[in-house]
Amino acid sequence: NFKLVSNSSPLNKVVMYLAMNGQDYDLIAEEALKSLPVNDTKTFYFKAILYERRGENDMASKQLLECFKRDKEYLMIAKYDGDISANSYEQAKREYDEWAIMDKNI
């Protein structure tokens, strides 16, 4: 079933391999991520998870910020996602709040 679902679409492949939570699986998920639209909210979110797993919190927060800008519903998703550290979330949230204020003033 795993192969059937993971091979059904690039998005499913990313999701399924990220769910396996291992370095080899992350590499497959990262490769599959290249098939997703570059500016899609989910693409930014999945990249954030991969950066988190590598310990690259600054890059993770940058990806989260881009995700939040596209869909603010991800603020709550990321807040409770065990794959997103509190530090990355808080940094991205702080920058999002600043961006939202600036965006409203334009």
pLDDT at 28 over 80: yes
Over residues 37-48, the pLDDT tens digits come to: 999 999 999 999
Question: Quick one: 96 exposed, middle or buried, by C-beta within 10 A (0-12, 13-18, 19+)?
Answer: buried
Percent of the chain with pLDDT over 90: 89
| pLDDT of res. 21 | 82
pTM, full prediction: 0.91
* Two structure tokens written together for 105: 């003033």
Contact 49, 84 (CB under 8 A): yes
105: confidence class by pLDDT, cuts 50, 70, 90 = low
